[in-house]
Amino acid sequence: MLQNNKSIDDSKSGTTCIGALFVDGKVYVSNVGDSRAVLAQANSKGRLRAVELSSDQNPWRSDELARVEGCGGVVFTSEQLCGEDDKAFRPWAKEAKGGSIHDKKEIIPRVWLPGKGTPGCAFTRSLGDTIASTVGVCGEPEILVHTIEEADTKLILGSDGVFEFLSSQEVVDIVSKYDDPSKGCAAVVQESFGRWLEIDGATDDITCVVIDFR
């Protein structure tokens, strides 16, 4: 059992979490935040296609946006909060918007307390982040159950830093080049790291796990 350690200040600190549990031919994926689980599944021609076993929890999802705004949170980009961009520009408020949009500049909607420059979470669920939890950033996981099929070859778990500039299919394509899952994992991290430096000039956390069903 986890016990609360009051000596740890989690008011502005927390984590996203993605996990996979294998039981009796099924995989149970539990997700809190914007990390992601992606299945590599072979089609009839043997090519691996990406099947997402989680849904990123961020303001691009209309249900997640509705919850945090219903709890009193406000959603703006950092640039909007600082007055650099028009606050009326809210593309995440449109229906059926998922993931991040990268054009000439990155659009990252974040959750804030009204009138405050905190906490600025780019996700809508996390473990910890007690200040953010007052405006609807909760730690309740979404759980998906998948029955493993013969066509399923690999499961990839990655933090948002992996998928910020790589699509799920791109990650599967990289992993499919390697028989050794550890080498596939390293290649994904390397490619993601390079994209970060090229596009953003800095990097976020880039964590990846590859599970080979064979």
In a domain, 5, yes or no: no
Identify residue 17 by its one-letter amino acid code.
C
Tell me: do 42 and 147 sit in the same domain.
yes
Using DSSP's 3-state secondary structure scheme, residue 178 falls into coil
Number of domains in the chain: 2
- Tokens 């950033």 sit at which residue? 137
What tens digit of pLDDT does each residue of 83-103 get?
998 889 899 987 434 443 444
Give pLDDT tens digits for 52-76.
Answer: 999 999 999 999 999 999 999 999 9
pLDDT of residue 188: 98
User: Which residue would you say has higher pLDDT here, 12 or 167?
Assistant: 167
Residues 141-160 pLDDT 10s: 999 999 999 999 999 999 99
Q: Which domain holds residue 188?
A: 18-55+143-212
The answer as to whether 128 is a domain residue is: yes
According to the model, what pLDDT value does residue 8 have?
77
**Which are the contacts of 188, defined by CB distance < 8 A and separation ≥ 6?**
156, 158, 162, 166, 171, 174, 175, 208, 210
Query: Distance between CA 133 and CA 126 in Å, rounded?
Result: 9
Q: In this structure, are 111 and 79 located in the same domain?
A: yes
166 and 190 share a domain?
yes
pLDDT for 96 equals 38
C-alpha to C-alpha distance for 166 and 75, rounded to whole angstroms: 24
Supply the pLDDT for residue 102.
40
* Residue 49 belongs to some domain of the structure: yes
170-204 residue pLDDT tens: 999 999 999 999 999 999 999 999 999 999 899 99
| Residue 42 belongs to a domain | yes
pLDDT of residue 9: 81
What is the predicted pLDDT for the residue at 190? 98
